[in-house]
Amino acid sequence: MSALTLTAAPAGRPRQTRWLLRLHRPALYTWAVLWLALAALLLALDGPLLNAAAEGWRQVRNCGMTERCTYDQKAILRYKDYYNYATIALNVLPFLVAGWAGAALTGRELESGTARLAWTQATSPARWLAVRLAVPALGVTVCTGLLAWLHHRAWAAGQGRIDSAKDWYDRFTFHAGGPTLAAMALAGLAAGALAGLLLRRTLPALALGVLVAGGVRGLTELAMPHLWPAVTRLSTVDQGFLGKGLVVDQGMVTSSGAHVPPPPCDSNASCDAAYAHFTGRYNTYHPHSDLWGLQLTTAALTLAIAALLVTGCFLVLRRQTGTLRAARATA
């Protein structure tokens, strides 16, 4: 039996890949349709939708203060709505990947017994899991990477032409237009696979996979501003906070140079009295030049979490298959 297994192993991986693609053909078709729709929308946001909205904003800027203003409001609102739809959809993709991975990739196969059948046909559990993680991971990385690139192109093309364009540090725009999108999708894949292995049931694994993916997103949101050195600008009390970007911390400067939080006040008189004891303000933030530094460090953190989740997948599988072998040996 061991000789047969060793002989069949070299050809086993291509067969497993073909079987995996055939088994999840509906999900593959759905993903292809969704990807094409988002890609087409992002290309339109970088083309006709952008040009029409930019012309509308040009008309707004050319309007005089006393004359009646005529501009293409529909084009402006259409661009805004479609940009929001595309950006939100890209942010949701990692959760869809997590739900699918938990429900179908591992949970359903374990619940139906398909996985155990594969383990008895010259396929080790570790190889079975490796194929189920590697093949979707390749597709998810390529597809989400291309969508992130298209989104960043569309966003960059609107800067200076669309007055209502989102800032780079808008969280949905940030995660939709860089490598963090692919990293979060991979973390979602690993989270869903782990949920399926733990619960071995379709619907509970779907819910847990999405929940874990949400936890990864929340953790990266909290850590992101602190993963790259920020800039601090000082100003007088009357100047207000100087500098525009992703705010890390803001507050007041005392006469000794200490940085403290702004004091609470609820009226002009109380605010004047409270701020009279301070010598200035400080604003710690990330300017636009920190965009790719934050993108890369956040993606690295997310991939590290994904690696831990993948390690958890193999540890859980080894424990389960070890228990199964022990039960068979006892029987």
pLDDT of residue 253 exceeding 50, the answer is yes
Q: Which residues contact 175 (CB under 8 A, 6 or more apart)?
A: 90, 91, 181, 184
Residue 302: which region, alpha, beta or left (left: phi > 0; alpha: psi -120 to 50)?
alpha
* The pLDDT value given to residue 9: 39
CB 301 within 8 A of CB 223: yes
* The pLDDT value given to residue 64: 67
pLDDT of residue 60 exceeding 90, the answer is no
pLDDT of residue 2 exceeding 60, the answer is no
pLDDT of residue 4 exceeding 50, the answer is no
Question: What totals of helices (H) and strands (E) does the chain contain, helices first?
Answer: 12, 4
The residue assigned the tokens 């911390």 is 249
* The pLDDT value given to residue 179: 97
**24 CB neighbour count, 10 Å cutoff:** 20
CB 161 within 8 A of CB 50: yes
- Which of helix, strand or coil describes residue 255? coil
Mean pLDDT value of segment 210-222? 95
* The pLDDT value given to residue 325: 55
- Which of helix, strand or coil describes residue 200? coil
pLDDT of residue 161 exceeding 70, the answer is yes
pLDDT tier for residue 324 given thresholds of 50, 70 and 90: low
Q: Which residues pair with 247 in a beta bridge?
A: 285
**284 CB neighbour count, 10 Å cutoff:** 19
* The pLDDT value given to residue 11: 43
Cα 321 to Cα 123: distance, rounded to the nearest angstrom: 13
Mean pLDDT value of segment 92-103? 94
Phi, psi for 71 (deg, rounded to 5): -150, 165
Amino acid at 74: K
What does each C-alpha distance from 273 to 59, 258, 263, 270, 327 come to in angstroms?
Answer: 46, 19, 10, 5, 76
| Residue of 186, 241, 177, 242 whose CA lies nearest to 213 | 186
* The pLDDT value given to residue 1: 34
Retrieve residue 111's tokens.
């619940």
Share of the chain above pLDDT 70, in %: 92
| Residue of 215, 224, 223 whose CA lies nearest to 168 | 224
More confident residue, 7 or 63: 63
pLDDT of residue 82 exceeding 80, the answer is yes
The Cα angle at residue 209 between residues 42 and 292, in degrees rounded to 5: 45
